[in-house]
Amino acid sequence: MAAPSPFYSFPGDSCWPSAKMRSDFNKTVGGRLMPTVPLASVCHKDETYNPNVCEILKSNWFLPKTYLPSSSSSVMAALFTNNSCNPFLQPEIPCTLGNYVNYAVKIRDTSNAQKTLAFAKKHHVRLVIRNTDHDYNGKSTGAGGLAIWTQNIKNIELLEAYSRPWYKGRALKISTGVLAYEAYKFADAHQGTVVGGNCPTVGIAEEVITAAPSDHGDLSWALCGGGPGTYGIALSMTAKLHSSIGMSSTKLSFAIPSRGLQVTWTLVPGALVVSPATAPELPKQDIDKHFQPTLSQLIEDGIPYAYHSQEFSTFLISHEAMILPCANVSDSILSGQLLPRSVVRDHINEFIPTVRMIVEAHYLFVGLSLDVSQISASKVAASPYWRKTLISARFMTNTLIPKLTAFTGGKGAAYLNKANFLPPNWQDVFYGKHYSRLSSIKLKYDPKSTFYALGAVGSEGWAQKPNGRLWKA
């Protein structure tokens, strides 16, 4: 039975799949359907109360490893659980599902994904994609939802002679459950380097298709920056395997030349931390030269500092020495702004007081400084504003965002995965001028809006009731 057209079906509805329907479906996916049991149920007396286990859980609650590999339902950003089954509440308070998904399928192959998608479509159940990526914005959960959990699809295949019109050479076919660090190690073992995320826990239709520039080119374009959980279920990707390269890395400050140097830095009251600045194929003595003016100024001003630089033979060795272990990234509420290079070039005297005001208000000001201006903005769906960006600044509050937006002429843009989860003009902030084209692609490949995620393309067509249920806006 189909759900009433304005709504996704919801537990308690007459159209919600019956126990027999769920049991029959479970058989088709090899017994991989998992009812949600919140991790914190051990902290509540109406569930499997165990105070000793609860204390252990509390001490690990804000670590990504608690959620990503072990749970089919828990969310890294606790804000989006709305205190549902919270381990820090009194044990007498009932453990409820709230905004958690009701079920998840621990898929292992394409067939599992196809059958789960078909079941969700048939019964008009809200579908949620739970990938391996960090999620600060509530995309990996949803009340009354059925999750497709891709964590356990972990295949990496070396393609020695990948040949397509747009690229010929070595490549890796990487399944969606592979973590970045796993891909780095595999690439290094094959004398190569692959592009991925900073922290080691970041991850890389009923009809199965291959999206490439020459085949479903519009979908291929949309998947490169057009937002997650929007157009289909990505089960693998093929990535260029770059030659193994040497790296130089240093930790200290924010001197940023344009020659491929990437710098991650954090500003807090009384301290500035750069950890690290990395430069591919740049000798140690050259990266030291870039930082020498800063070091000389610190010495002249009598400011103590710690400086360390080192040259590495491969990217993996550099990553292990300068990045790992990655800082805890799960208990942050973020907002952000992409800032063009012109800000520090033309408005540095106005910019510095703004940054100082933010940190003095007891916010962390975190930046990633980079230069991607040499690539055409039209080649991928990522916001074109990235091509002008020098700094991606992340911090919390709607009050402070406009102060940075002012430096961009009022044309604010933000990194989709680390931003205020739903700014008023999110279509422009997240996607820029590409939004209209992305909307057309969404309508083409998902005309019935099977895929929904907060802040995703097409999500303006839905609204959420207080109980988390989605309905047509």
DSSP β-ladder status, 236-240 and 262-268: unpaired
Where do the structural domains in the chain lie, given as residue ranges? 19-152+442-472, 156-244
- Using N-to-C axis directions, what is the helix angle for 180-189 and 315-322, rounded to 10°? 140
Instruction: Kindly report whether the global pTM for this prediction surpasses the value 0.75.
Output: yes
Which residue in the block uniquely carries the two structure tokens 């916001």?
Answer: 383
Contact 92, 45 (CB under 8 A): yes
Contact 92, 49 (CB under 8 A): no
Give the C-alpha separation, 195 to 209, whole Å: 24
SS3 of 388, please?
Answer: helix
* pLDDT computed for residue 74 by the predictor: 74
Q: Into which CATH architecture does domain 19-152+442-472 fall?
A: 2-Layer Sandwich (3.30)
SS3 of 191, please?
Answer: coil
Give the C-alpha separation, 230 to 225, whole Å: 11
What contacts 198, CB < 8 A, 6 or more positions away? 180, 264, 323, 326
Residue 460 has phi, psi (to 5 degrees) of: -65, -15
Asked whether the bond before 257 is cis by omega within 30 degrees of 0, the reply is no
Structure confidence by residue, pLDDT tens digits, 403-456: 777 777 767 777 777 777 777 788 988 888 899 999 999 999 998 888 998 889
Nearest to 57 by CA among 41, 68, 73, 46: 41
Cα angle value 268/270/276 (rounded, 5°): 55
* pLDDT computed for residue 404 by the predictor: 74
Contact 254, 348 (CB under 8 A): no
Residues of the chain with pLDDT under 50: 1-4, 201-204, 254-263, 265, 390-391, 393-395, 397
* Per-residue tokens: 48: 């499997």
Which residue in the block uniquely carries the two structure tokens 């000389």?
Answer: 296
Structure confidence by residue, pLDDT tens digits, 298-343: 888 777 788 889 999 998 888 888 877 666 655 566 677 777 777 7
Secondary structure of the chain: what % helix, strand, coil (to 5)?
A: 30, 20, 50
SS3 of 118, please?
Answer: helix
Nearest to 393 by CA among 344, 426, 330, 431: 344
